[in-house]
Amino acid sequence: MANDAYSKLMDLYSEYSIMGQVDMVIGWDQNTYMPPGAAEMRGVQSSIIGAMRHRAITSRKVKDLLKEASREKELTEVQRSSLRWLRREHERKSAVPEKLVMEMARLEPVSIQAWIKARRENDFRQFLPILEKVFELRSKMAEHLGFAKTPYDALLEDFEPGMASGRADTILKGLRARLVPMVKRIVEEGGPVDDGPIRKGYSEKKQYEFGKQVLLDMGFDFNRGRMDTSAHPFTSGTYDDVRLTTRFDRKDLRPALFAFIHEGGHALYEQGLAKEFYGTPLGEAVSYGVHESQSRLWENQVGRSLPFWKHYAPFLRRTYPNMKSVRLEHLYRAFNMVRPSLIRVEADELTYNLHIMVRFEIEKGAMEGKVDLKDLPEVWDDCYERYLGITPPSVSQGCLQDIHWSMGLIGYFPTYSLGNLYAAQLMEAARRDLRDLDGSIEKGRFGTLLSWLRGNVHSKGRLYMAEDLMKRVTGKPLGEEAFISYMRTKFSDVYGLAL
């Protein structure tokens, strides 16, 4: 009987899950080929899908079946884990009143437009009332969801399930304490890095072909995916239909290339989910942090490594004749230049985490009533001064630079840094398990690394919670050690310092 309830639940979940895939397809379309005039219609379509999915997961039927299924004792690990996710989804979606969900949905396009205008006009004051409204609605949402210590936890749970913000706090503060002096030393003693030779002219066609070759080498399956261009690079879709985008800068080959590799990492995760979990609660990525770990691992640990460029430097020189005389070491240093900067998305691998810290502290503080949003520009600038030693000359380049808060994405930012930490810890474990990983990378052979990630991370889907998965694969809970050690090794090398 209960097993019957289980299979009924899985049938219901499969519709919920597959309608989510449909939403991804039309979302991809929206960001690539949709005619501009269709924006309003698309908004309606997406909200109808959202409403149908919401009704499906919060239905009385699901509630009753969950009760029935919970009485069953002899469930397999897969079944227990599936039920845990489904119950979590049901409870969280049921906890927030539909009225509030709709209010948030209606506010989103308005606040995005307001943010765009405020940023363009470099005017924080006009955005403030809407930003306050966004935080107010998210606070209400947190109240409905419930939390043990801080309302921030209720929001973080959407992006990094199972990680309380206290834990994130500890990890990220530990990270900050060690990064700030490291950055300071590099700035003061590291000497200049010349990235002139990689800022020449590059045709889009050649950049595309170069990126496509790297993606093929990484193991991206073009039969089950594709690549396009869009204003902001992203990856969308899952399993047999995974699509990534990039953008091109004709004067700098880094933006397109590292977006290819970064999005490629996300895409490999999605293409690597296990077929037997398709349409079930386990057939999805385990957390945003772990998803980000896959993009960061390929982008930074692989794509900015010396072995990687040992392989690709000759190909790069053949592709772009104007780079014929650039030396490998020069390339490697240029791709790993550290420079405190104002804009998060342009930051290097090391300082990137300090940008995240600023946002994490502010959004957490605001949710806890410790930061008044009226003071946001001053608080922001103060953090940048303390962590990065620089001060934004304007709010457009300061607290108005990110779209996230206008979209209601509060609790999202920490997953970027957690991703870096997961990535470093996973790479450390991969090096432990695989013989001569650098040797393979040097030959442009990524198959062993991909297989390792497939077996240990991708194919597991949501069978384990993120930190549990990490312990099983790396033998340790998540921490900053592996990342710090990786940073120290790399930047000691790049800057000739004993960090």
Q: Which of 3, 48, 110, 121 contacts its own copies by CB under 8 A?
A: 48
Using rule CB under 8 A, residue 101 touches its own copies: no
Nearer to its own copies, 72 or 221 (CB): 221
Q: Which of 37, 191, 192, 321 contacts its own copies by CB under 8 A?
A: 37
**Which residues inside 217-256 make contact with its own copies, applying CB under 8 A?**
221-226, 228, 239-241, 243
How far apart CA 142 and CA 183 sit, in angstroms, is 36
Residue type, 20: G
DSSP string, 240-305: TEEEEEE---TT-SHHHHHHHHHHHHHHHHHHTS-GGGTTSTTSS-S-HHHHHHHHHIIIIIITTS
How far apart CA 441 and CA 199 sit, in angstroms, is 25
For the CB of residue 36, give the shortest distance to its own copies in the complex, in Å: 6
How far apart CA 329 and CA 191 sit, in angstroms, is 15
Q: Which of 29, 72, 143, 442 contacts its own copies by CB under 8 A?
A: 29
Using rule CB under 8 A, residue 38 touches its own copies: yes
Using rule CB under 8 A, residue 18 touches its own copies: yes
Catalytic residue chosen out of the listed positions 68, 74, 160, 263: 263
Nearest to 404 by CA among 368, 370, 372, 366: 366
Contacts 24+ apart (CB under 8 A), 32-38: 32/228, 32/229, 32/230, 32/245
From residue 337, alpha-carbon distances to 332, 341, 346, 404, 486 in Å are: 9, 12, 12, 27, 15
Binding-site size, its own copies (CB under 8 A): 36
Q: Which of 2, 8, 21, 164 contacts its own copies by CB under 8 A?
A: 21
Using rule CB under 8 A, residue 274 touches its own copies: no
**40 classed as catalytic:** no
Nearer to its own copies, 204 or 228 (CB): 228
Using rule CB under 8 A, residue 35 touches its own copies: yes
Using rule CB under 8 A, residue 216 touches its own copies: no
* Phi-psi map region of 497: left, alpha, beta (phi>0 left; psi -120 to 50 alpha): beta
For the CB of residue 134, give the shortest distance to its own copies in the complex, in Å: 27
Using rule CB under 8 A, residue 2 touches its own copies: no
Task: Give the number of other CB atoms < 10 A from CB of residue 185.
Answer: 15
Structure tokens at 26: 């039309």
**Which residues inside 297-316 make contact with its own copies, applying CB under 8 A?**
none
Using rule CB under 8 A, residue 205 touches its own copies: no
Using rule CB under 8 A, residue 52 touches its own copies: yes
Using rule CB under 8 A, residue 36 touches its own copies: yes
For the CB of residue 31, give the shortest distance to its own copies in the complex, in Å: 13
For the CB of residue 34, give the shortest distance to its own copies in the complex, in Å: 7
How far apart CA 378 and CA 228 sit, in angstroms, is 39
Q: For residue 150, how far is the Cα from the chain centroid?
A: 23
Task: Give the number of other CB atoms < 10 A from CB of residue 210.
Answer: 21
Site residues for its own copies per CB under 8 A: 14-15, 18-19, 21-22, 25-26, 29, 33-38, 40-42, 44-45, 48-49, 51-52, 221-226, 228, 239-241, 243, 279
Instruction: Show which residues are catalytic.
Output: 263
